[in-house]
């Protein structure tokens, strides 16, 4: 009897093997399903700069301004070395408000300082393009006031020399996260002095940026900004 049971063991094992379909595995042998891997899609237009994280900026500009009297047939130019402080606020990714405080000194053809000095302020708006890219550029426009008088003039004389002005320009910036360097070319048109100095008796050649009624010119700046 015992011998008969031992003989049935191989037959039972064979029957179990044939009962399992080819290629079929038990749940214990089945491989675990692969875990889901999150797919991260980067924004190809972001450039890695979140411009709305730091909305305020302070900048320093140095450059030059050239002014001519509108009625001056000879188109004599008055040149100034200029420096500016820029304070900006970014309202939207593309739109910025800017306060510019400017000052400068007349420079003569031989490089020496002239008798005139200038100072002014401008409230401007910028529209930026390619805002999230390291290289971006903008268009600007603004209104303000400028004083051009002798550098040793009195406060009263400077008040009488105030002129309203309009400015418009284009600039380009290279941004490194919170630091940026930039260049800007700006056109400017100035109205008459607040005291409306009578220059009708002066010959055109005698008029300059101080005495001329209406002025026009251009300004070029190089500068750097810090965002915070």
Domain ranges, ordered by start, for the chain: 56-227
Q: Is the pLDDT of residue 148 over 50?
A: yes
DSSP string covering 5-23, please?
Answer: HHHHHHHHHHHHHHHSPTT
Lowest mean pLDDT among 12-26, 80-94, 119-133: 12-26
- 143 or 13: which carries more pLDDT confidence? 143
Predicted confidence (pLDDT) per residue in 43-79, tens digit? 444 456 899 999 999 999 999 999 999 877 667 899 9
pLDDT band at 174 (very low <50, low <70, confident <90, very high): very high
> In the beta sheet, which residues pair with residue 83?
62, 103
- Residues whose CB is less than 8 angstroms from the CB of residue 141 and which lie 6 or more positions away in sequence, other chains included: 124, 125, 166, 167, 168, 169
Q: With 90 as the cut, is the pLDDT of residue 205 above it?
A: no
Q: What is the CATH number of domain 56-227?
A: 2.40.160.20
What was the pLDDT predicted at 21? 47
The pair of structure tokens assigned to 161 is 């020399």
Find all residues with CB under 8 Å of 208, minimum gap 6, and list them. 69, 76, 78, 116
Helix (H, G, I), strand (E, B) or coil at 75: coil
Q: At residue 4, does pLDDT exceed 80?
A: no
175-188 tens-digit pLDDT: 999 999 999 999 99
- Enter the tokens of residue 70: 């509108």
Q: Which of 157, 155, 60, 159 is nearest to 101 (CA)?
A: 60
Indicate whether 109 pLDDT > 60.
yes
**Number of other residues whose CB lies within 10 A of the CB of residue 218:** 15
Mean pLDDT computed over every residue of the chain: 84
What gap in Å lies between CA 123 and CA 81, rounded to an integer?
21
Looking at residue 107, its pLDDT comes to 97
């Amino acid at each position: 009897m015992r011998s008969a049971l031992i003989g049935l063991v191989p037959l039972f094992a064979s029957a179990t093997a044939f009962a399992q379909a080819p290629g079929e595995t038990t749940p214990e042998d089945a491989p675990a399903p692969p875990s889901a891997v999150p797919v991260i899609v980067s924004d190809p237009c972001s450039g890695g700069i979140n411009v709305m994280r730091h909305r305020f900026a302070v900048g320093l500009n140095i450059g030059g301004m050239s002014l001519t009297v509108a009625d001056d047939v000879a188109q004599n130019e008055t040149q100034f070395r200029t420096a500016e402080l820029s304070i900006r606020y970014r309202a939207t990714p593309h739109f910025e408000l800017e306060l510019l405080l400017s000052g400068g000194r007349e420079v003569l053809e031989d490089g020496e300082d002239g008798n005139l000095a200038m100072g002014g302020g401008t409230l401007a708006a910028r529209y930026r393009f390619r805002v999230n890219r390291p290289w971006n550029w903008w268009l600007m426009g603004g209104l303000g006031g400028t004083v051009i008088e002798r550098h040793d003039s009195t406060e009263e004389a400077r008040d009488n020399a105030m002129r309203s002005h309009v400015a418009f320009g284009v600039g380009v910036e290279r941004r490194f996260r919170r630091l940026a360097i930039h260049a800007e070319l700006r056109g400017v048109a100035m109205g008459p002095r607040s005291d409306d100095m009578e220059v009708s008796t002066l010959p055109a050649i005698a008029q300059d940026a101080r005495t001329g009624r209406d002025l026009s010119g251009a300004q070029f700046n190089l500068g750097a900004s810090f965002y915070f």
